[in-house]
Amino acid sequence: MSSSAVASPLSAGNRASLTINAPATFAAAAGIIGGAALLGAVINPRQAALYVLGAALGLVLYHAAFGFTSAWRVFIADRRGEGLRAQMVMLAIASVLFFPALAAGTLFGQPVAGNVSPAGIGVVFGAFIFGIGMQLGGGCASGTLYTVGGGSTRMLITLAAFIAGSAIGAAHLHWWVALPSLPAISLVKTWGPWTALAFQLAVFALIAAVTVVFEKRRHGRLITADPSPRQGLARFLRGPWPIVAGAVALALLNFVTLYLAGRPWGVTSAFALWGSKIAAAIGFDVASWPYWSSPARQAELTGSIFNDITTVMDFGIILGALLAASLAGRFAPAWKVPLRSAVAAVAGGLLLGYGARLAYGCNIGAYFSGIASGSLHGWVWLVAAFAGNVLGTRVRPLFGLEVERVKLTGC
C-alpha cells in the first residue's frame, strides 16, 4: 500500500518522537472491552472471544505493517522480497499447525474444517481482478480494514466500494459457479497430511529462495528494514514490530480462529452480507438471489450481523488497528483525497469485492487460510492474483499512485 494512503509506522528517524494519542487509545480500548462484554452477554462468550481475537489481528497487522499488497508490489516493481518471505513463514507455520488438526477433524475436542473450495474459471478470473483491485484500491481485504482503523480516509472509499462489489458478486455468483471447474480438492485428504505438508513446505522454501535470488540480482544484497527506535515493552506496545514477528503472530492467531470458529480466518463474506443487507434496505429483492438460498445463509441475511463470526472479527480488526495506531502516535486522519486517487479507490474496491466473491475468498480466506487448509484452490488463487497484481502495479501511476523503488547504488 502506498505511503500516502496508509497510516503505517514511520521510518526510524521520526517514530521515537511520536506520543500516544490518548483519546483515540481510550476510545479503541473501550470499544474492544465494551464490545466484548456486550457480545458475551447478548450473543455468547465465544463470539466475544472472536471479537477480541479480531482486535488482536488488527493490532498485529498494524504494528508489523503486514501488507500483502505492498509486499507483492515491491517485489514486482523492485524485486524486494522481505514481505513475500514473511508470507512464506506465515504459511509454513500455519500449515504445520493446521494439517494434523484438519486430518483429525477436531482440535482440542472442537470439530474443525478447512477452507477448501472448487477451482474453476470463476476462481481464476475473480482472483485476477482481485489482484488488480489490490493495487488500485491500495490494499487487500485485511489491509483495507487495518488501514481504515489506522486512520486512512482514502481506504474508507475503498471499503465502501469493496462492500458494494461484494454484494454484486453475490448476486452474480450462481452464473460463475456454473462455468467449468475442478471440484474442491484438499491436499490433506488426497495425499495425507504429512506428504501434503512436505510438498507445501518445499514450495514455500522455493518461493523464498527465488525472492532472495531476484533481490540480490537487483540490489546486490538483501534490503533490510530501518532499525526500530523502541525496544522491549515499548516496542511491543507501540511498534513497529519486525515483519517476521507479524507473520508468526498471524499464523498463531489463525490457528486460534480455527479452534474458536471451527474454520480458519476469513474477511470478505461479511462484506457480502453487509452489502446485501444495504441492497435489501433500498429495495432490491436480495432474498431471491441464489447466493442466499440456503437455510443457513437465509438466517444470516435476516438475522443480526453480530451473529456473524466474520463480521465481529472484522469490527475487531478495525478497533485493534485503531488501538495500535493510537499507541504508536500515528492516528491522524487526513481528509483530502486527490480525485484520481479516489477514482482508483472506487474502481479497486469494486474489483476487490466482486473478485473475492467469485474466487471463494480474498488474500485471507482463499490465499492464507486456503493454502493453510491444503486447498488446491488457494494455490490457484495465488497464481491468478499475483498476475493481477503485476497488471495493477503497472497501471498505478496512471492514477497518481506510488510504486516504491529503492534507488540503485551501482552494485
94 CB neighbour count, 10 Å cutoff: 27
Which pTM value belongs to this model?
0.93
Mean pLDDT of 37-61: 97
pLDDT of residue 81: 95
Q: What is the mean pLDDT of residues 200-205?
A: 98
pLDDT above 90 as % of the chain: 84
Q: What is the largest CA-CA distance in the chain?
A: 63
Question: Is residue 228 pLDDT above 60, yes or no?
Answer: yes
Would you place residue 180 in the very low, low, confident or very high pLDDT band (cuts 50, 70, 90)?
very high
What is the grid cell recorded at 180?
467449468
Q: Contact 272/167 with Cβ under 8 angstroms?
A: yes
The CA distance from 261 to 110, in Å, is 9
Q: So what's the pLDDT on residue 233?
A: 82
* Gap between the Cα atoms of 228 and 244, Å rounded: 14
User: Beta strands of 192-312 (E only): which ranges?
Assistant: none
Task: Give the least confident one: 226-240, 271-285, 391-405.
Answer: 226-240
**pLDDT tens readout for residues 296-319:** 999 999 999 999 999 999 999 999
Selected residue with higher pLDDT from 1 and 183: 183
Q: Report the pLDDT value the prediction gives residue 11, as an integer from 0 to 100.
A: 36
**CB atoms closer than 10 angstroms to residue 222:** 13
pLDDT at 238 over 90: no
Q: What is the pLDDT of residue 242?
A: 94
Q: 330: pLDDT confidence band, cut at 50, 70 and 90?
A: confident
Q: How far apart are the first and last CA of the chain?
A: 27
How much is the average pLDDT of 166-187?
97
Q: Which residue has the cell 461484494?
A: 166
Q: What is the pLDDT of residue 358?
A: 97
Grid cell in block for residue 204: 514455500
Q: What is the pLDDT of residue 12?
A: 35
* Mean per-residue pLDDT, 156-167: 97
**Distance between CA 58 and CA 342 in Å, rounded?**
24
Is pLDDT above 80 for 206?
yes
- Residue 82 and residue 291: Cα distance in Å, rounded? 39
pLDDT at 335 over 90: no
pLDDT confidence of residue 365 = 95
Does residue 5 have a pLDDT over 50? no
pLDDT of 3 strictly over 80:
no
pLDDT tier, 408 (very low <50, low <70, confident <90, very high otherwise): low
pLDDT band at 229 (very low <50, low <70, confident <90, very high): confident
Nearest by Cα to 75 from 408, 407, 403, 409: 403
CA separation (Å) from 155 to 8, 265, 319?
13, 21, 15
- Express each pLDDT in 250-283 by its tens digit: 999 999 999 999 999 999 999 999 999 999 999 9
Which set of grid coordinates corresponds to residue 407?
A: 534507488
* Band of pLDDT at residue 333, cut at 50, 70 and 90: confident
Reported as a single tens digit per residue, the pLDDT across 355-379 is 999 999 999 999 999 999 999 999 9
Does position 410 have pLDDT exceeding 50, yes or no?
no
Residue 1 confidence class, pLDDT cut points 50, 70, 90: very low
Say how many residues make up the chain: 411
pLDDT in tens, 63-93: 999 989 999 999 999 999 999 999 999 999 9
Is the pLDDT at 411 greater than 80, yes or no? Answer: no
Mean of pLDDT over the chain: 92
CA R_g for the chain: 20
In the predicted model, what is the mean pLDDT of residues 224-240?
A: 81
C-alpha cell belonging to residue 265: 480466518
- pLDDT tier at 95, thresholds 50, 70, 90: very high
User: At 234, is the pLDDT very low, low, confident or very high (cuts 50, 70, 90)?
Assistant: confident
pLDDT computed for residue 14 by the predictor: 40
